[in-house]
A and B are shown apart, each in its own frame.
Chain A
Amino acid sequence: MSTLIFFEHKNDNISIASLHAVTAAKQIGGDLVALIAGSGCTAAAEAAAKVPYVSKVIKVDSEEYTHVMPENLANLIARIAADSYTHVLATATSMGKNIMPRVAALLDVAQVSDIVEVVNENTFIRPIYAGNALATVKSLDAIKVITVRSTNFDPIANIGGSAKIEDSKGEGDSGLSKFISTHQSNPNRPDLLSAKVIVSGGRGMQSSANFKMLEEIADKLGGAVGATRAAVDAGFMPNEYQIGQTGKVVAPDLYIAVGISGAIQHLAGMMNSKVIVAINNDEDAPIFKVADYCLVGDLFKILPELKASLDHL
């Protein structure tokens, strides 16, 4: 048994997101091989070689991988995977979700998306219906292509390993697509997927301007700001802030839900948070059923109090 793990990286270092996939791969068992594809990615390959349990790093340093274009990467991953691997893993980030189904199709196998638990080498648990049900699924394919939900597997350490690095050739540019630009929404606050604290607002926030209050509280706690689909649909916040079935799935240590009723689709994205606080004026709001600490009241009175108290903390 051997697992190929697609590592996300920024040339000079590896992404924490991929360390979650290593934990899942370790639970599956067998040999672990990391794939680093990029252009000028030697430092990232060296960083991947230090990840415990990784026995080999395959480094593909070639121009066509300067940007993460799925057409190019899927061709590469599928070629390497077809060699001798039983499993191909990536973390279910927007990058992993973009590339891995393409890999599966090229290998003519199914993909098991967003696993939250490894039962054994071919059986996995994954949420369906926005996390309202958990399906145990057995893969009958010779190569199992899997994406891993990061919130359910703690990241492995990034020191202590000593894997060998092996160079491999690229597949050339498919010429099908071209990267133009990225627009990072807020580089100063932690990413939703790695934040320890998330302060999140719903339709109850009433306006885009009122989200400022949540931002101030998030900054005091060193946290990130999130929003419900309702708040995004209403135009209060951009889509990348959206937490839920169709947005991001998060599991911070502390999740503060403000003016959020608790629609099924939102709960799916935050139910695994360690501690949930809900602030809402409707005592019957479903969010209170999942919250550890429930504060019933007018958020426009509570938020200024909360901010003032945090100032003195």
Chain B
Amino acid sequence: MKVIVSVKRVVNHNVKICIKADQSGVDLTNVKMSMNPFDEIAVEEAVRLKEAGKVSEITAVSIGPIQAQETIRTALAMGADSGIHVVNDIEIEPITVAKILKSIVEKINSTICFLGKQAIDDDCNQTGQMLSALLGWSQATFASRVEINDDELTVNREIDGGLETIKVKTPTVITTDLRLNEPRFVSLPNIIKAKKKTIAQMVASDLGVSLSSHLRTIKVVDPPERAGGIKVANVYELLSKLKSEARVI
């Protein structure tokens, strides 16, 4: 069973972002970039399934500028077998990403796609669901446990207020939530081994996908700041303020 994992290069989650003066977007010059944390969980899950003998081959796919290769290398060092880099320097929307991934899935004939549930830059939470719809496959989003039995997967999903268990038929698209696993640290020998693995390069037009956009970003601004608060000395003062000033208890 072949598996695809999509990995996105995003601003590291610890970085405090800055907005460009012309309000055209977030300034990414000299900012530390990393693999989207949810995608790391997706890679880890695929690698664990391979180690358990349930999966034969893992392809890590990234769409982005030349530096997206580093993100693919990280996935290879974690245990993916090969990479596909769709070189692209412009910002594209989830629907377009889903079309590119669909074309790759059909090319290499994979049975399961693992994606992070959302990217921590655009916070869209769309690509997995869209890919599943375009392929006409089943989907299991926000997965916190995945179990494969033949042509069926049992998945626990994180939903508002609790958990849901569903069964999905393969082929399927899984999007990963935080509790699914804890991604491994990449060891030096594995980083060296990853350098020998192959990364195929292509562009969207090779895959027959046009990059026309559906959305236009008019501007990006800072969120309004909250006015500063006051210090209270003790529980008594806190409660009396909450009661008489804020009137929330």
Interface residues of A (CB under 8 A from B): 69-71, 74, 93-95, 97-106, 108-114, 123, 127-141, 174-185, 191-193, 197, 221, 229, 232-233, 238-240, 242, 245-246, 248, 253-254, 264-265, 271, 274-278, 288-296, 302, 305-306, 309-310, 313
Contacts and interface: CB of A to CB of B under 8 A. Distances in A.
A174 B117 CA distance: 23
Contacts of A109: 95, 214
Interface of B: 11, 13, 16-17, 19, 26, 37-38, 93-95, 98, 117-118, 120-134, 137-142, 144, 154, 157-169, 172, 177-179, 213-223, 226, 228-232, 234-236, 238-239, 241-243, 246, 248-249
Nearest to A178: B167
A126 to B, nearest CB: 8
Contacts of B130: 101-102, 104-105, 111
A94 B222 CA distance: 27
Contact of A105 (B134, B142, B161, B234): B134
Kindly name the residue among B98, B120, B214, B236 whose own CB sees the greatest number of chain A CB atoms within 10 A. Answer: B214
B137 A94 contact: no
Contacts, number: 257
A129 B17 contact: yes
B25 to A, nearest CB: 8
Given A102-B132, A111-B124, A180-B167, A134 B220 contact: yes
Contact of A239 (B139, B169, B177): B177
A254 B248 contact: yes
Nearest to A229: B178
Contacts of A290: 226, 229
Contacts of B235: 295, 302, 305-306, 309
A296 B231 contact: yes
B238 A197 contact: no
